[in-house]
A and B are shown apart, each in its own frame.
Chain A
């Protein structure tokens, strides 16, 4: 079945460091890809999305590019802030939108001042 794999955390960075969180997926056809963020004690928020190959999603300084050839959707940010500390989830919807989201296990990011 469809699945999402993320790099294991926790990831600890200093403020202003470069961030990469790897995400790869297994799916038939052409899924839509997402990054969600969960701040402490809160629900998940949609961070960015890409619905077709080579699309780049971006929001709040975060970016991710849909790479079909490598089945990847890595999350990047050039300069992280303490306020970016959260858990980040990579997710997909299979090409049939009637199906449910498939979430990765999440990667916890801690940014130190």
Chain B
């Protein structure tokens, strides 16, 4: 079966510290992968998407970066976190042209 994992589930980091969030999928190959952010009480903001290894598209300018070192691994990073980076980060996987599935999310609090 197809599964998507995210870790950690929760994270509290001080301003200025680095960040690394990981997303992995199982049960498929060459998936389209996505990183979204959901600020408190807000909708979804698409941050990055990737259609293959090493291929990253950024939707908005920001303090974050993404990488895809392996086919089923998608990493979200920052060198120095800002308070505004707090939120719920969701990884998603496009299974078929019109079906997208989401991971359980990582709640990040920057203090």
Contact = CB atoms under 8 A, between A and B. Distances in A.
Contacts of A36: 102
B43 A100 contact: no
Query: Ordered nearest first, which 10 A-B pairs have the shortest CB separation?
Result: A97-B97, A43-B102, A105-B43, A44-B102, A103-B44, A32-B98, A43-B105, A106-B43, A43-B104, A43-B103
B111 to A, nearest CB: 20
Task: Tell me what chain B mostly uses at the interface: helix, strand, loop, or mixed.
Answer: strand
A27 interface: no
A77 interface: no
Contacts, number: 44
B84 interface: no
Interface in B5-54: 6, 34, 42-44, 46, 49
A80 interface: no
Interface residues of A, number: 20
B98 A100 contact: no
Given A44-B90, A93-B97, A93-B98, A104 B43 contact: yes
Interface stretch (A11-19, A45-53, A59-67): A45-53
19 contacts: A32-B98, A36-B102, A41-B107, A42-B105, A43-B103, A43-B104, A43-B105, A44-B90, A44-B102, A46-B101, A49-B99, A51-B98, A89-B43, A89-B44, A97-B98, A101-B46, A101-B100, A105-B42, A105-B43
A51 B44 CA distance: 22
